[in-house]
Amino acid sequence: MLLYLRLLVLTTWVVQVLANNSTAFQYKGISIGGWLVLEPYITPTLFKDSLNPGESEDDIPVDEYHYCKKLGKEEAERRLNQHWSEFYNETDFQLIKQAGLNMVRIPIGYWSFEMMDKDPYVSGAQDYLDKAIEWSKQNDLKVLIDLHGAPNTQNGFDNSGLRNIGYPGWQNKTEYVDLTVKILKQIYNKYGTGEFAEKYNDTIIGIEVLNEPYGPALSMNKLKSFYIDTYNDARNIQNFTNSIMFHDAFQGIGDWDDFLSRGKVQVVFNNGTRNITVTKSAKFNNVVLDHHHYEVFADSVHSNITTHLQNIKDYAGSIKKEKNGAIVGEWSAALTDCAMWLNGIGLGTRFEDTAPYGNKTSNGQCAKWTDAKKWSKQQKKDYRRFIEMQLYEYGINTQGWIFWCWKTESATEWDFQALVKYDIMPQPLDNYKYVKNGVDVSGSTKFGLNWVLLISMLVVFL
Active site residue ranges: 212, 293
Q: Which residues contact 230 (CB under 8 A, 6 or more apart)?
A: 180, 181, 184, 209, 244
CA distance 25 to 288: 11
Check if the beta carbon of residue 301 is closer than 8 Å to that of residue 337.
Answer: yes
Q: What are phi and psi of 148, to 5 degrees?
A: -95, -20
CA distance 400 to 429: 13
